[in-house]
């Protein structure tokens, strides 16, 4: 109980101190005042998103000695990028960021109906080794993701949490299936995935294995059944969907690389992102700028209410239908009319980059 109280106090102090820091950062950085659970698949851009969240933690601690922010609970969804033998990569991210790794859980590795949909083994090994950043194995972790999620949620007693879902929705759907009562412990889910008014990225990224899937986005395509359980059923919690429609506004670029380089000697988080980009120039050198801050934008919309509520941010209230067939439209997300899902279809690039580099430059 004492530990829980400390966690809640730390989170509260973290959040309130962020608000007090809003003035020097320009626009307000008011953040959700609830504990955060991150469910991710350890693609390279999830690393940036966690580095961004680490910056928010550090900003919260400025001027406050002997206070330790307890990092968000992290679970690993295993139907996406990373392999889940030992959650090696997540532990590695925390190690690089000089953060204490929380209890990490791993979910199931095969999607219902579509067990053969996955990234290539080569890509998954890259994720597992943190794209060249991991110097040594980080040891095993055999916790079940759903149990870790439920342990955290039920520990909140009367409180609720916000879930940041940065991979396929497998673990979240499994949580709702196994523990239906978890629904009332969730305040909001911010999830990256889908493509509503724009084309998908599956066929573009993998024209050899999946050439026909031009309309689907990876996180939904890899597990459409789970996505449908979260997006197409009625829930008591709010869902904010951040599809390619809005992430298309925030690409990586040579300029982004240079800005992280200029900040690399200021903050550990900026240095980690810079090293990641240095080792993987394909992430920012793409001449068409088709690699985006998919997950970092989603994290920022969750954490930064000034971005979420800015007039330049467009949100459509939709009923979302997920195509669960095996046809060429499999995994497509369609807005079929007015509904409860908050679909973020547009953001201001300028505001995003301003907030991003503000966060990474303070120390
Ligand atoms: Ca991801």
pLDDT tens readout for residues 324-355 = 999 999 999 999 999 999 999 999 999 999 99
Q: Is residue 2 part of a domain?
A: no
Distance 65 CA to ligand 1 centre (A): 33
Distance 74 CA to ligand 1 centre (A): 13
Q: What is the CATH number of the domain that holds 298?
A: 3.90.245.10
Q: Per-residue pLDDT for 18 more than 50? A: no
3-state secondary structure 271-331: HHHHHHHHHCHHHCCCCCCCCECHHHHHHHHHHCHHHHCCCCCEEEEEEEEECCCCCCCCC
Distance 50 CA to ligand 1 centre (A): 11
What is the separation of C-alpha 11 from the centre of its chain, rounded to a whole number of angstroms? Answer: 19
Structural domains counted in the chain = 1
Q: Is residue 285 part of a domain?
A: yes
Q: Is residue 153 part of a domain?
A: yes
Q: Is residue 42 part of a domain?
A: yes
The predicted model scores a pTM of: 0.89
Task: Give the closest residue to 222 by CA, choosing from 285, 286, 165, 304.
Answer: 165
To 5 degrees, how large is the angle CA 230–CA 233–CA 239?
50
Q: Is residue 266 part of a domain?
A: yes
Strand partners, 251: 292
Q: Per-residue pLDDT for 176 more than 70? A: yes
Distance 46 CA to ligand 1 centre (A): 5
Residue 112, phi then psi, degrees to nearest 5: -60, 140
- pLDDT at residue number 55: 86
Residue 204 and residue 342 in contact, taking contact as beta carbons nearer than 8 Å: no
- pLDDT at residue number 13: 37
Q: Is residue 3 part of a domain?
A: no
CA distance 131 to 146: 27
Strand order in the sheet with 314-322: 143-144, 104-106, 73-76, 36-40, 161-165, 186-192, 238-242, 341-346, 314-322, 333-338
Q: Per-residue pLDDT for 3 more than 60? A: no
260-287 pLDDT tens trace: 999 999 999 999 999 999 999 999 998 8
Helices (H), the chain: 2-20, 44-61, 88-96, 121-128, 145-155, 170-178, 202-205, 218-221, 224-231, 244-247, 254-263, 268-279, 294-303, 305-308, 349-361
Residue 15 lies in domain: 8-361
- Give me the residues near ligand 1 (ion), CB cutoff below 5 Å: 41, 43, 46, 166-167
Tell me what the pLDDT averaged over the chain comes to.
85
Residue 229 and residue 173 in contact, taking contact as beta carbons nearer than 8 Å: yes
- What three-state secondary structure class fits 250? coil
CA distance 10 to 166: 24
CA distance 169 to 112: 12
Q: What is the dihedral of CA 141, 84, 102, 75, to 10 degrees?
A: -130
Q: Is residue 1 part of a domain?
A: no
Distance 24 CA to ligand 1 centre (A): 31
Q: Is residue 238 part of a domain?
A: yes
Strand partners, 343: 241, 316
């Amino acid at each position: 109980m004492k530990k829980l109280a400390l966690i809640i106090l730390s989170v509260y102090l973290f959040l309130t101190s962020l608000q007090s820091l809003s003035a020097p950062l320009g626009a307000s950085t008011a953040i959700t005042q609830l504990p955060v659970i991150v469910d991710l698949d350890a693609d390279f851009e999830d690393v940036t998103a966690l580095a961004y969240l680490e910056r928010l933690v550090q900003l919260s601690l400025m001027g406050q000695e002997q206070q330790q922010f307890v990092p968000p609970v992290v679970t690993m969804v295993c139907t996406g990028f990373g392999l889940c033998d030992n959650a090696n990569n997540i532990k590695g991210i925390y190690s690089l960021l000089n953060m204490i790794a929380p209890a990490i859980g791993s979910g199931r590795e095969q999607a219902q109906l579509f067990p053969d949909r996955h990234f290539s083994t080569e890509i998954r090994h890259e994720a597992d080794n943190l794209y060249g950043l991991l110097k040594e194995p980080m040891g095993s972790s055999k916790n079940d993701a759903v149990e870790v999620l439920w342990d955290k949620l039920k520990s909140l007693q009367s409180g609720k949490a916000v879930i940041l879902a940065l991979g396929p929705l497998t673990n979240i759907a499994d949580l709702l299936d196994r523990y239906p009562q978890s629904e009332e412990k969730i305040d909001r889910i911010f999830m990256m995935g889908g493509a509503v008014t724009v084309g998908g990225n599956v066929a573009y990224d993998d024209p050899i294995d999946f050439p026909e899937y031009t309309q689907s986005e990876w996180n939904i395509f890899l597990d459409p059944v789970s996505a449908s359980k979260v997006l197409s059923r009625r829930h008591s919690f709010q869902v904010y969907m951040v599809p390619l429609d809005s992430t298309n506004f925030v690409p990586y670029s040579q300029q982004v690389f240079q800005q992280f380089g200029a900040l690399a000697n200021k903050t550990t988080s900026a240095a980690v992102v810079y090293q990641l980009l240095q080792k993987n120039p394909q992430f920012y050198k793409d001449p068409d700028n088709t690699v985006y801050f998919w997950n970092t934008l989603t994290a920022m919309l969750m954490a930064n209410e000034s971005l979420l509520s800015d007039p330049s941010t467009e949100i459509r209230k939709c009923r979302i239908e997920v195509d669960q067939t095996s046809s060429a439209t499999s995994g497509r997300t369609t807005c079929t009319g007015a509904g409860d899902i908050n679909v973020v279809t547009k953001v201001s690039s300028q505001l995003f980059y301003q907030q991003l580099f503000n966060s990474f430059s303070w120390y």
